[in-house]
């Protein structure tokens, strides 16, 4: 692993944050994708790769570039299982589904959401779990599972409030004072 390349990747990732904050999404997406390419070239998809990867995939999806997002997802999907960290393995079904939806493909089952939720609970990644729950709630609502969607949404809000993730909590349509007590995890839709 070359330290100079990792430093360059980190700088590209920081630049992507700066461009995103300035409202320059295309530049942010270019920099975050560059950061992934640099990390892959320097060290593959090691433990630190997840931060670069999720940022880059999110940027591409926000930009509406499903093709580049798919290329980024393929770095993980095509890697030998022993090279894929537990966190990446947990996020892969969800991220693959997000890219499929962005590409205009239908998703006939909520199984990818359920798989990522279970794996992220086991791994202990509440922020990413909350994001999956929000996407799962949207999918359930669109497929007639309104009650199950509310359970997912309530759990996501509870997690986001506990993390103090105020912008995400607002995005989820909630605030800490109106949270629903969720005693059980989001139930699979059974569809």
Task: Say whether pLDDT at 50 is over 80.
Answer: yes
pLDDT the model gives residue 176: 45
**HSE, side-chain direction, 13 A CA sphere, residue 132:** 29
User: CA dist 27 to 14, 68, 174, Å?
Assistant: 12, 14, 31
Contacts of 30-33 with CB under 8 Å at 24 or more apart are 32/56, 32/59, 33/59, 33/60, 33/68, 33/72
d(CA 128, CA 67): 23
**Residue 168, pLDDT score:** 87
* pTM of the model as a whole: 0.83
Taking the CA atoms of residue 130, residue 131, residue 132 and residue 138 in that order, the dihedral angle to the nearest 10 degrees is 110
Q: What is the DSSP letter of 178?
A: G
pLDDT (0 to 100) of residue 175 = 58
Tokens of 3: 């330290």
pLDDT category, 174, cuts 50, 70, 90? low
């Amino acid at each position: 692993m070359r330290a100079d390349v990792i430093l360059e990747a980190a700088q590209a990732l920081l630049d992507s944050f700066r461009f995103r904050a300035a409202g320059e999404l295309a530049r942010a997406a270019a920099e975050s994708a560059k950061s992934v390419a640099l990390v892959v070239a320097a060290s593959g998809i090691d433990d630190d790769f997840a931060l670069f990867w999720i940022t880059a995939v999110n940027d591409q999806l926000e930009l509406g570039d499903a093709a580049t997002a798919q290329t980024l997802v393929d770095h993980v999907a095509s890697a030998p299982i022993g090279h894929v960290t537990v966190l990446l393995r947990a996020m892969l079904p969800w991220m693959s589904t997000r890219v499929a939806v962005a590409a205009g493909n239908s998703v006939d089952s909520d199984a990818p959401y359920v798989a990522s939720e279970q794996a992220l609970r086991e791994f202990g990644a509440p922020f990413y779990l909350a994001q999956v729950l929000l996407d799962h709630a949207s999918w359930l609502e669109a497929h007639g599972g309104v009650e199950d969607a509310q359970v997912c949404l309530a759990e996501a809000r509870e997690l986001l409030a506990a993390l103090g993730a105020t912008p995400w909590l607002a995005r989820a349509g909630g605030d800490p004072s109106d949270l629903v007590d969720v005693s059980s995890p989001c139930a699979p839709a059974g569809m």
